[in-house]
């Protein structure tokens, strides 16, 4: 994370709740208003209207309903602590019983999340997490370091014994999940002497930036043989970049996540593999942990959900991991 982003994140702490109303975006069909009972939950995803978080929301809503709770979703327009902080501030004013949150920065979101905790609101981390483990009651996510290793092994298998350079396209520094994916990838790819890791480039979670980083790297690194894109937008952009350069398939692309676009790109050969998560279960488990924490039940500090490597060959069997664009 750049200093600028950290500073904007901190500056946003001072933002008034009026801003929260202006910045809040709804993911899918959320309902609910201010809560005065103890059965009111809020989900704060990393960004609005994105299939990973929509799938998480679907899982959380179904489980909340089954347990007799209500849940509303309020999402930032950008994956950025400066956008997410005023949403937390606004949610705090309504005092829900618990908040499920995907912090957009592992440090900058600590202060606003601590305000929730200090006000007696239970906090559960879903997907991303803070470095400070004292704020949330529970964290539910994929084992992202393992996911990075799986991406490296998958890429190495696709490349076989050919030699060449490999690139990681990452989102923003300070995102716990994608930082861990790069770490796992870097460690694992070192086991393949035919592959030379040229390092990571940041895309700010923006598909257009990812596409242009691919075309620039193809010019500077002519022996580029593989790319690992650490999340959905970065992967979708990398597929576009390879297409624009006429390099689809010549450079093996392993992406993370399984959005409808990524899945159709896997089918048509723009990706060679996807590492899919299980966001619906992250949402479901998030509700379960929040309820356990509220009712004195047994709370699990860390829960790891499924990760699978999907290729064109096994995609029909793995379709339950494809992400949704809406809950219906
Ligand atoms: O990859 C997911 C999520 O796990 C990550 O923390 C942020 O990006 C996604 O939401 C996909 O865009």
- pLDDT tens, residue order, the chain (328 aa): 333 333 333 333 333 222 222 233 333 333 333 334 779 999 999 999 999 999 999 999 999 999 999 999 999 999 999 999 999 999 999 999 999 999 999 999 999 999 999 999 999 999 999 999 999 999 999 999 999 999 999 999 999 999 999 999 999 999 999 999 999 999 999 999 999 999 999 999 999 999 999 999 999 999 999 999 999 999 999 999 999 999 999 999 999 999 999 999 999 999 999 999 999 999 999 999 999 999 999 999 999 999 999 999 999 999 999 999 999 8
Query: 189 and 221, same structural domain?
Result: yes
Tell me: the pLDDT tens digits for 61-92?
999 999 999 999 999 999 999 999 999 999 99
Residue 46 falls within a domain, yes or no?
yes
Please answer whether residues 97 and 39 qualify as being in contact, where contact means their C-beta atoms are separated by less than 8 angstroms: yes
From ligand 1's centre to the CA of 177, what distance in Å? 7
232 Cβ below 6 A of ligand 1: yes
Ligand 1 atom with the shortest distance to the CA of 234: 12
Q: Are the C-beta atoms of 44 and 101 separated by less than 8 Å?
A: yes
Flag whether the pTM goes above 0.75: yes
Number of compact structural domains in the chain: 2
Instruction: Summarize pLDDT for 247-265 with one digit per residue, the tens.
Output: 999 999 999 999 999 999 9
Q: Which helix (H) or strand (E) holds 57?
A: helix 51-66
Say what the pLDDT of residue 328 is: 84
How many Cα neighbours within 13 Å face the side chain of 214?
Answer: 31
Both 125 and 215 in a single domain? no
Ligand 1 pocket, residue 90 CB under 6 Å:
no
* Residues 235 and 198 reside in one and the same domain: yes
The H or E element spanning position 72 is: strand 70-73
Find, among 205, 140, 161, 207, the residue nearest to 179 by Cα: 205
Q: Are 74 and 92 in contact (CB under 8 A)?
A: no
CA dist 185 and 148 (Å) reads 4
Cα 195 to Cα 33: distance, rounded to the nearest angstrom? 53
Ligand 1: residue whose CA is nearest its atom 7: 231
- Domain span at residue 59? 39-143+279-306
CATH number of the domain that 297 lies in?
3.40.50.2300
pLDDT of residue 21: 28
Closest residue by Cα to atom 11, ligand 1, is 232
Residue 199 per-residue DSSP state: E
Residues 123 and 180 in one domain: no
Is residue 239, in this structure, part of any structural domain at all? yes
What is the per-residue pLDDT across 77-131, written as a single tens digit (0 to 9) for each? 999 999 999 999 999 999 999 999 999 999 999 999 999 999 999 999 999 999 9
Question: What is the three-class DSSP state of 80?
Answer: coil
Return d(Cα 285, Cα 293) in angstroms, integer: 12
């Amino acid at each position: 994370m750049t200093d600028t982003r950290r500073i904007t994140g901190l500056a946003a702490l001072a933002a008034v709740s009026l801003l929260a109303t202006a910045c809040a975006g709804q993911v899918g069909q959320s309902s609910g208003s201010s809560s005065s009972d103890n059965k009111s939950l809020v989900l704060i995803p990393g960004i609005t209207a994105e299939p990973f978080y929509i799938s998480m929301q679907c899982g959380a809503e179904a489980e909340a309903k089954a347990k007799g709770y209500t849940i509303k979703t309020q999402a930032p327009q950008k994956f950025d602590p400066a956008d997410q902080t005023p949403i937390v501030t606004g949610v705090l004013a309504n005092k829900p019983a618990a908040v499920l949150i995907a912090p957009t920065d592992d440090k900058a979101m600590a202060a606003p999340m601590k305000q929730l905790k200090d006000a007696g609101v239970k906090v559960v981390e879903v997907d991303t997490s803070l470095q400070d483990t004292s704020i949330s009651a529970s964290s539910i996510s994929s084992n992202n370091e393992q996911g990075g290793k799986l991406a490296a092994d998958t890429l190495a298998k696709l490349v076989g014994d050919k030699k060449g350079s490999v690139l990681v396209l990452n989102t923003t520094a300070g995102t716990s999940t994608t930082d861990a994916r790069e770490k796992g990838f870097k460690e694992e790819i070192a086991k393949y002497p035919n592959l030379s890791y040229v390092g990571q480039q940041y895309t700010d979670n923006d598909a257009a930036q990812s596409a242009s980083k691919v075309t620039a790297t193809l010019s500077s690194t002519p022996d580029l043989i593989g790319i690992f894109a650490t999340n959905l937008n970065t992967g979708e952009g990398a597929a576009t970049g390879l297409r624009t350069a006429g390099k689809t398939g010549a450079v093996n692309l392993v992406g993370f996540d399984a959005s409808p676009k990524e899945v159709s790109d896997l089918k048509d050969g723009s990706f060679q593999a996807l590492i899919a998560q299980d966001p619906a279960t992250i949402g479901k488990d998030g509700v379960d942990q929040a309820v356990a924490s509220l009712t004195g039940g047994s709370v699990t500090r860390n829960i790891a959900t499924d990760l699978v490597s999907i290729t064109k060959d096994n995609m029909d069997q793995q379709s339950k991991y494809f992400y949704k664009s809406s809950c219906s």
